[in-house]
């Protein structure tokens, strides 16, 4: 299939491009480069043994209807994997309008242009954050959605609702909502990975920067949660496994699935302290840390039952925590290389 990949130069998008081509698909990439660089595409092409410039790229904002229109006039696509969006939780609290406008406004524009070109197939990057503070773990897809603690989370929750209503109104649409848990790791080649700008918000890039000596110590946000060691528990998933879930979701779209929702995690929860200890053991480096206050908006635990994706998509995560910490560290050490 020929796949429109919005946000394709980003962290998850770039890894998914690799898996798309390896599975025999092709892609057209749209990104406004607000949180990524076009160099990533060259690296993806190198990794795949493609010629430079072989993956068509459009530096276009998904809010730009004419820009999307011009791109779809030149390329006939079978489906869209829609990654483009802003994702910094703290920034979304400061700039809610920007987040609602970019994430929701952009998605509405994208849907309009896709529909006009007769492409009614989409895989959307949703998030575990739509569950809010759930009563019990593990999370299953039919747990009710909850109250989000920030505008970023609400954009995901609201876009899910928009897509559900669009599909309900027109059964020609096939839409898969993938609720990612905590993506970490990087491609084992060391050529692509996550490139956070400024101080990282997320645990893994913070750990790798501390291990590399770029930051003094990790602050563990709270050690008094009702979890086995008191620190927060999350369902970390290797980005290469996550990328493969999109290929599986395209299969569902091709089978005309209507609207489906899947949890994309490993089904195992690990605490912050377990992450730090595993990172130190596997990579043979120290990660100095101190215990600090809880971070506002954090939940004690968040992990899923991913069995629906296994049953219906034939997808399950294969990589474990050791692969995640090894590949994250490898990327940290090689990301400055040309």
| Binding partner at 193 among ligand WQD, ligand NAD, none, C-beta below 5 to 8 Å by kind | none
| Binding partner at 11 among ligand NAD, ligand WQD, none, C-beta below 5 to 8 Å by kind | ligand NAD
DSSP H or E segment with residue 13: helix 11-22
152 has catalytic annotation: yes
| Binding partner at 206 among ligand NAD, ligand WQD, none, C-beta below 5 to 8 Å by kind | ligand WQD
In the complex with ligand WQD, the residue whose CB is nearer, 45 or 301, is 301
Q: How far is the CB of 101 from ligand NAD (least distance, A)?
A: 9
Give dist(CA 258, CA 311) in Å, integer: 17
Q: How far is the CB of 288 from ligand WQD (least distance, A)?
A: 13
Does residue 25 contact residue 250 with C-beta atoms inside 8 Å?
yes
Give dist(CA 62, CA 9) in Å, integer: 14
In the complex with ligand NAD, the residue whose CB is nearer, 7 or 151, is 7
Give dist(CA 309, CA 316) in Å, integer: 7
Q: Which residues would be at the binding site for ligand NAD (CB under 6 A)?
A: 7, 9-13, 31-36, 61-63, 83-87, 102, 106, 125, 127, 180, 183
Q: How far is the CB of 15 from ligand WQD (least distance, A)?
A: 15
Give dist(CA 211, CA 332) in Å, integer: 9
Closest CA to 56 of 78, 31, 86, 22: 31
Closest CA to 41 of 81, 76, 10: 10
Does residue 70 contact residue 92 with C-beta atoms inside 8 Å?
no
Closest CA to 278 of 327, 315, 242: 327
Q: How far is the CB of 238 from ligand NAD (least distance, A)?
A: 12
Q: Please tell me whether residue 127 adopts helix, strand or coil conformation.
A: strand
| Binding partner at 83 among ligand NAD, ligand WQD, none, C-beta below 5 to 8 Å by kind | ligand NAD
For 142, counting Cβ atoms within 10 Å of its Cβ (0-12 exposed, 13-18 middle, 19+ buried), the class is exposed
Q: Which residues would be at the binding site for ligand WQD (CB under 6 A)?
A: 87, 89, 127, 129, 153, 182, 201-203, 206, 218-221, 232, 234, 272, 295, 298, 302
Q: How far is the CB of 142 from ligand NAD (least distance, A)?
A: 20
Active site residue: 152, 206, 225, 262, which one?
A: 152
In the complex with ligand NAD, the residue whose CB is nearer, 201 or 291, is 201
In the complex with ligand NAD, the residue whose CB is nearer, 6 or 271, is 6
In the complex with ligand WQD, the residue whose CB is nearer, 67 or 205, is 205
Tokens of 105: 């406004």
| Binding partner at 63 among ligand WQD, ligand NAD, none, C-beta below 5 to 8 Å by kind | ligand NAD
Give dist(CA 108, CA 198) in Å, integer: 30
Catalytic residues: 152
């Amino acid at each position: 299939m020929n796949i429109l990949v919005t946000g394709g130069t980003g962290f998850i998008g770039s890894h998914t491009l690799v898996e798309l081509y390896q599975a025999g698909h092709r892609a057209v990439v749209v990104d406004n480069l607000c949180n990524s660089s076009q160099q990533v595409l060259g690296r993806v092409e190198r990794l795949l043994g493609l010629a430079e410039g072989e993956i068509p790229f459009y530096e276009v904002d998904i809010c730009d209807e004419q820009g999307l229109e011009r791109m779809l006039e030149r390329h006939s696509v079978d489906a869209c994997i829609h990654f483009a969006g802003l994702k910094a939780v703290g920034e979304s609290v400061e700039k809610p309008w920007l987040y609602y406008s970019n994430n929701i406004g952009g998605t509405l524009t994208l849907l309009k242009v896709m529909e006009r070109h007769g492409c009614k197939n989409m895989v959307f990057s949703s998030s575990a954050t739509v569950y809010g503070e759930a009563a019990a773990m593990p999370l299953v897809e039919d747990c009710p959605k909850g109250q989000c603690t920030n505008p970023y989370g609400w954009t995901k929750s609201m876009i899910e609702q928009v897509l559900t209503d669009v599909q309900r109104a027109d059964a020609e649409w096939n839409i898969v909502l993938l609720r990612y848990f905590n993506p970490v790791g990087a491609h084992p080649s060391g050529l692509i990975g996550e490139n956070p700008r400024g101080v990282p918000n997320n645990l893994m890039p913070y750990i790798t920067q501390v291990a590399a000596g770029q930051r003094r110590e990790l602050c563990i946000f709270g050690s008094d949660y009702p979890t086995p060691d008191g620190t927060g528990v999350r369902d970390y998933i290797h980005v290469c496994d996550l990328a493969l879930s999109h290929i599986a979701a395209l299969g569902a779209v091709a089978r005309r699935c209507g609207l489906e929702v899947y949890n994309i995690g490993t089904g195992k929860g690990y605490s912050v302290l377990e992450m730090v200890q595993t990172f130190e053991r596997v990579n043979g480096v120290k990660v100095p840390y101190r215990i600090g206050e809880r971070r506002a908006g954090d939940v004690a635990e968040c992990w899923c039952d991913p069995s629906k994706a296994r049953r219906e998509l034939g997808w399950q995560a294969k990589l474990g925590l050791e692969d995640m910490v090894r590949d994250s560290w490898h990327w940290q050490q090689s990301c400055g290389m040309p």
